[in-house]
Amino acid sequence: MSDLSQKIAALSPEKLKLLAQRLSKKQGDIVSQTQIKCQSRQTNSFPLSFAQQRLWFLDHLQPGHSAYNIFQSMRLTGWLNVAALEQSFNEVIRRHEILRTTFTTVDGQPIQVIAPTLTFRLPVIDLQKLPKDKREAEVLRLAHEEAQQSFDLANGSLLRVTLLRQTETEHALLLTMHHIISDGWSIGVLIREIAALYKAFSLGKPSLLPELSIQYADFAVWQRQWLQGEQLETQLAYWKQQLGGKLPVLELPTDRPRPAIQTFSGARESLTLPKTLSEKLKALNQRQGITLFMILLAAFGTLLFWYTGQEDIVVGTDIANRNQAETKELIGFFANQLVLRTDLSGNPTFLELLERVREMTLEAYAHQDLPFDKLVDALNPKRELNRSPLFQVKLVLENTQTPSLKLPDLTISPLKVENKTVQFDLLLELNETEQGLFGIWEYNTDLFDTVSVVQMSRNFEALLGKIATYPEAKLSELKTILSEADKQQNLAQEQTYESTIQKKLMNVKRRANSRL
């Protein structure tokens, strides 16, 4: 046991509960003490942040791809003030320079260029001339088409908004941004600002939103100035120790051979954990003085261990990376990716595995500021055209809910559109809700069939149920769940097959009797 493990083991449960929160922001507290300064606007060109640089490079390798689109769609029912909505988007674009930004190169190096102004016109597609029974299908077709439409980073705009009118009181709003100018947190910022501005403008009042103290370009300049020298070396030293040597490649069984070039064709399956199970998991994390994410990561690692037989499991996760207060109100690409390596060797009990995951995760949080692309450059793994670098499977727990858009005299509801692009082989994104844990499995359809992902989801839910009841069980004992789940799946498939055969035989007999 390391010195850190011994110190953690000696803490009381109450202190353990606070440890994750404190260490997860430890490096952030240091960062927040360094103020981000507003740069001179004598020039309109600025360097890219490290995260932006990674996406620019990926787009440069495979231009015209929609894998990094952030798409939102919603239904608006009621009397909509289209002029106020257009004015609201114009004001948001004025406030946030990143929404007026494009990307080009100077002497071979990418830069971001900020347009001094940008006049936004809200396109309105009127579907009222179509028969009523065909309008909904057209809404879904246009929404899917919009979600798949790529961006030109050099010519912009990297924000698209379209309004579809079905009747005078029924509209659909489609919104797409490229990830290079936005992230999940940014969607919340955009929604809050649009709601506040629409309320004011629809009443003929001015905006009450305070001016922003900095812009995203200021963060990009600050990040490159701050993350160098001792700060950079401290971060690199930890990650080189944690991920150095030959990093394992997760060999998940696939339904088809991996293509020679990485593809981004995908689909999604939902996962809803019963509220009783979610409450049991939260009770476990409270008893052990850890976070819910650590339990889910340990369980996810166990599931992958069962599927692959590999005891050294590497997965990715996201972190908001908004340590300074002034960044929390900005639209922009701040999110960073952490690489989490779990040791499952020695057939530990799940509680013992939790201790390993706790230590590893806390150390990763304390070194969260190294940009992912810097880590890839430092480790310099063997590049493969058909895999993402460092990890191919990702686990994300969203514990901050994106606010729902609320506009006067309107009822807002989601418009569900199937997004058929993915960035990784497999991603499980979980959300904490009042009803329990809700999740989405994103999977690459060139690798996996739906039935395989559905079965994996069932196995994961069954594993979580067993863990919540018997956390002291060894991993080998928990594995019986997977065997039982597979047996049940095979039995169900056999029963379905037999039922199909019986129906076919009955049809043959009926046709034969009808000829007599």
Tell which residue, 194, 187, 184, 162, has the closest CA to residue 92: 194
Task: Please state, for a pLDDT cut of 90, what percent of the chain lies above it.
Answer: 75
Phi, psi of 190 (to 5 degrees): -60, -45
pLDDT per position as a tens digit, 227-285: 999 989 999 999 999 998 889 999 999 999 999 999 999 999 999 999 999 999 999 99
Confidence at residue 516, expressed as pLDDT on a 0 to 100 scale: 56
> Which residue type is seen at 508?
V
Q: Are the C-beta atoms of 220 and 321 separated by less than 8 Å?
A: no
CATH topology assigned to domain 45-217: Chloramphenicol Acetyltransferase (3.30.559)
Confidence at residue 485, expressed as pLDDT on a 0 to 100 scale: 55
In terms of average pLDDT, the best of 26-35, 365-374, 397-406 is 365-374
pLDDT exceeds 90 at position 484: no
Mean pLDDT across 142-155: 95
pLDDT per position as a tens digit, 198-213: 999 999 999 999 999 9
Q: Are the C-beta atoms of 446 and 256 separated by less than 8 Å?
A: yes
Tell which residue, 14, 42, 223, 24, has the closest CA to residue 116: 42
Confidence at residue 30, expressed as pLDDT on a 0 to 100 scale: 53
Confidence at residue 259, expressed as pLDDT on a 0 to 100 scale: 96
pLDDT exceeds 50 at position 2: no
CATH topology assigned to domain 19-35+231-491: Chloramphenicol Acetyltransferase (3.30.559)
Confidence at residue 514, expressed as pLDDT on a 0 to 100 scale: 58
Q: Are the C-beta atoms of 49 and 219 separated by less than 8 Å?
A: yes
Confidence at residue 497, expressed as pLDDT on a 0 to 100 scale: 42
Cα–Cα distance measured from residue 74 to residue 72, given in angstroms and rounded to the nearest whole number: 7
pLDDT exceeds 50 at position 322: yes
Pick from 31-35, 128-132, 304-308, 343-347: least confident: 31-35
Confidence at residue 21, expressed as pLDDT on a 0 to 100 scale: 55
Cα–Cα distance measured from residue 336 to residue 319, given in angstroms and rounded to the nearest whole number: 5
pLDDT per position as a tens digit, 58-90: 999 888 889 999 999 999 999 999 999 999 999
The yes-or-no answer to whether 19-35+231-491 and 45-217 have a common fold is: yes
Q: Are the C-beta atoms of 158 and 115 separated by less than 8 Å?
A: no
Is the preceding peptide bond at 157 cis, omega within 30 degrees of 0? yes
Domain ranges of the chain: 19-35+231-491, 45-217
Confidence at residue 472, expressed as pLDDT on a 0 to 100 scale: 96
Confidence at residue 367, expressed as pLDDT on a 0 to 100 scale: 94
Task: Please state, for a pLDDT cut of 70, what percent of the chain lies above it.
Answer: 86
pLDDT exceeds 90 at position 515: no
The residues that bridge with 174 in the sheet, in sequence order, are 73, 162
